Chains A and B, each alone.
Chain A
Amino acid sequence: MSTELCNLWRELAHGATPSVIRRAQALLGQLVEHVEDCASCDAAVASLSEDGLAAVYELLAGDSGAPTDENPYQLHADVDAHVVYAVNELLLPQLTPQLNRTLAWQPLDLYRGIDALAMLIERESRDGAALVRLSPQALHAGVEELPRTTIVKEIQFVTSLDESSSSRLFDWLFAALRDFPKLLPGMIATGRGASVSVRVLPPGEPIDLSLAWAPDVVSVSVRGRAAALADPVSRQLADRD
């Protein structure tokens, strides 16, 4: 059996006949476990490029009926309400009036754009850089550089906005990062000249937007105090004391 599984992996990695694919699909569980136990198959699978790995998955998927008429990479309904709440109640109130004035996207599209940029940075960070530098022209991670067009395409892909709107959204996100360092959940941004450095924080609990975008305690208390002082009733009460 082991030899057959080795042969199946070899065939799958180099394009397979329909009968090999059917056999692989039938033995899928054993086939996958075999990779963990067989050093040569493990090495063969590990050496596959991203496209090569994708091709293996496609072979194993067969005619899966993957949806083509809608963007399947978008969020699904159960998290929508939470995202809208987090954007409207937590994120936007902490941004400058200028950023709020230039905001031209619905909360879900805005979040999808944030998500697209964050995942792109996380991915590039994984590939070689702890500190990623972002400019309106490119994303620099170690020796790698992603041009603006790639970033915009990723935003376009995740949001389904058109290219022009995705491009403007990227510019808006870049401006917002300079103003609100916690914009990308799980990361901290620091403005440096004409660019922004983004550090991916060490992994922890799953990221919850209501925590990621929670106002700093200090700024809340200062803002709360300022509001109280501005309120005439509070002033009168303060005077009486």
Chain B
Amino acid sequence: MSHAGSERAPAISDADYQKFRALFFSALAGLARRGYPVPPDDGLDLVHDFFVEAWPSLVERHDPAKSRLSTYAFSAFVQFARPRIVKLHRWRRQLDEEAVEEAGDDGSGVELKIDGARLERARQALSFEDREPLEARFVKGQSERDLAKALGITRYRARERLAQSLTRLVSGLQDRALSNSTDWQIALAIWRDGRPLAAIAAELGLTEDQVRARKRKIIAALTRATPLLTAAPRGNHVDRTL
């Protein structure tokens, strides 16, 4: 999805686009102050997604006798953006783009191995809809934006599909798929249960940085392990870490 606003809803004029984009930035400022911060690239994506997904019907529904359009639109945008911001934070824990590039060093000095046969079985159990985004992202090295464009969906939806696919892949693995049981616990906690890194760290007696490094190591090992996730040359564009 372009950041230049080229995919804005056709029903909105340039002047209105500028005006309401500014209004929604105010809403994002208010949300950030209330504990729902979102980086500017995701923020602008949210604004564009709102214009594409919600704006046309919002204009139709708005009753000028009951409220000003700006108030109505501001309220609608907050309701649209807030749960998405919460989800974006959750997916940030689950998807780690930098990990595709390099394995992290957790200081343990232990190499992580993955049982390729088990991983292959888990891969085969996935539906095409689940395999498609994983292969595009990990095998072809597409960025999230490229993936979104290829699938004809927003980057938010692309992330959602990636997170769900990764969850299903890890859930389909069996407990001896990873050579290290702590890594297995971490994998399940992150991708199957969607747990925060700090909570996992507290449970396992590790630091949050150690859990983060081991997460990257797991993704890197997954990337190396099978044809599905064989490391492939990546394009020049690297998305920021989720």
With both beta carbons as reference points, the residue of chain A lying nearest to B72 in the complex is identified as A76
Check if B41 sits within 8 Å of A76, measured CB to CB. no
Q: How far is the CA of A46 from the CA of B196 in the complex (A)?
A: 18
Interface residues in A31-71 (C-beta closer than 8 Å to B): 31-33, 35-37, 42, 45-46, 50-51, 53-58, 60-67, 69-71
Check if B3 sits within 8 Å of A57, measured CB to CB. no
Answer yes or no: A109 CB below 8 A from chain B CBs.
no
Q: Given B23, B44, B79, B87, which contacts A66 in the complex, CB threshold below 8 Å?
A: B23
Check if A66 sits within 8 Å of B74, measured CB to CB. yes
Check if A202 sits within 8 Å of B192, measured CB to CB. yes
**Beta-carbon contacts of B214-231 to A below 8 Å, as 1s and 0s?**
000000000000000000
Q: How far is the CA of A33 from the CA of B43 in the complex (A)?
A: 12
Answer yes or no: A130 CB below 8 A from chain B CBs.
yes
Give chain A residues whose Cβ lies under 8 Å from the Cβ of B71. 67, 69-70, 72
Known: A46-B39, A67-B68. A128 touches B75 (CB 8 A): no
Give chain B residues whose Cβ lies under 8 Å from the Cβ of A70. 67, 71, 75
Q: Given B5, B23, B63, which contacts A61 in the complex, CB threshold below 8 Å?
A: B23
Shortest CB-to-CB span from A59 to chain B, Å, is 9
Shortest CB-to-CB span from B241 to chain A, Å, is 8
Q: How far is the CA of A66 from the CA of B75 in the complex (A)?
A: 10
Answer yes or no: B193 CB below 8 A from chain A CBs.
yes
Shortest CB-to-CB span from B4 to chain A, Å, is 4
Q: How far is the CA of A35 from the CA of B3 in the complex (A)?
A: 12
Q: How far is the CA of A125 from the CA of B66 in the complex (A)?
A: 37
With both beta carbons as reference points, the residue of chain A lying nearest to B89 in the complex is identified as A126
Which stretch of B28-36, B104-112, B116-124, B174-182 is in the interface? B28-36
Shortest CB-to-CB span from A136 to chain B, Å, is 22
Q: How far is the CA of A128 from the CA of B198 in the complex (A)?
A: 5
With both beta carbons as reference points, the residue of chain B lying nearest to A144 in the complex is identified as B198
Answer yes or no: A216 CB below 8 A from chain B CBs.
no
Check if A123 sits within 8 Å of B192, measured CB to CB. no
Q: How far is the CA of A142 from the CA of B200 in the complex (A)?
A: 11
Q: Given A45, A60, A157, which contacts B25 in the complex, CB threshold below 8 Å?
A: A60
Known: A119-B86, A129-B199, A130-B193. A72 touches B75 (CB 8 A): yes
Check if B5 sits within 8 Å of A29, measured CB to CB. yes
Known: A57-B43, A67-B68. A130 touches B196 (CB 8 A): yes
Q: How far is the CA of A55 from the CA of B36 in the complex (A)?
A: 14
Shortest CB-to-CB span from A85 to chain B, Å, is 18
Give chain B residues whose Cβ lies under 8 Å from the Cβ of A29. 2-5, 44
Known: A45-B40, A74-B75, A76-B72. A128 touches B196 (CB 8 A): yes
Shortest CB-to-CB span from A97 to chain B, Å, is 33
Q: How far is the CA of A100 from the CA of B179 in the complex (A)?
A: 54
Q: How far is the CA of A56 from the CA of B83 in the complex (A)?
A: 21
With both beta carbons as reference points, the residue of chain A lying nearest to B171 in the complex is identified as A202
Check if A142 sits within 8 Å of B25, measured CB to CB. no
Check if B199 sits within 8 Å of A126, measured CB to CB. no
Give chain A residues whose Cβ lies under 8 Å from the Cβ of B5. 29
Shortest CB-to-CB span from B143 to chain A, Å, is 9
Check if B26 sits within 8 Å of A64, measured CB to CB. yes
Give chain A residues whose Cβ lies under 8 Å from the Cβ of B86. 119, 122-123, 126
Residue among A30, A36, A50, A51 with most chain B CB within 10 A: A36
Check if B33 sits within 8 Å of A54, measured CB to CB. yes
Q: How far is the CA of A231 from the CA of B89 in the complex (A)?
A: 52
Interface residues in B97-115 (C-beta closer than 8 Å to A): none
Give me the interface of A with B, judged by CB distance under 8 Å. 28-33, 35-37, 42, 45-46, 50-51, 53-58, 60-67, 69-79, 119, 122-123, 125-131, 142, 157, 200, 202-203, 206
3 smallest beta-carbon distances between A and B, as pairs: A61-B25, A128-B198, A57-B29
Give me the interface of B with A, judged by CB distance under 8 Å. 2-5, 19, 22-23, 25-30, 32-41, 43-44, 57-58, 61, 63, 66-68, 70-72, 74-76, 78-79, 82-83, 86-87, 89-91, 163-164, 167, 192-196, 198-199, 202, 237-240
Known: A29-B3, A36-B240. 5 other contacts (CB 8 A): A35-B39, A53-B29, A61-B26, A119-B86, A130-B193
Pairs A–B under 8 Å by Cβ, sample size 12: A35-B41, A50-B33, A50-B37, A57-B29, A57-B40, A60-B40, A66-B74, A73-B78, A74-B75, A79-B79, A122-B86, A142-B199
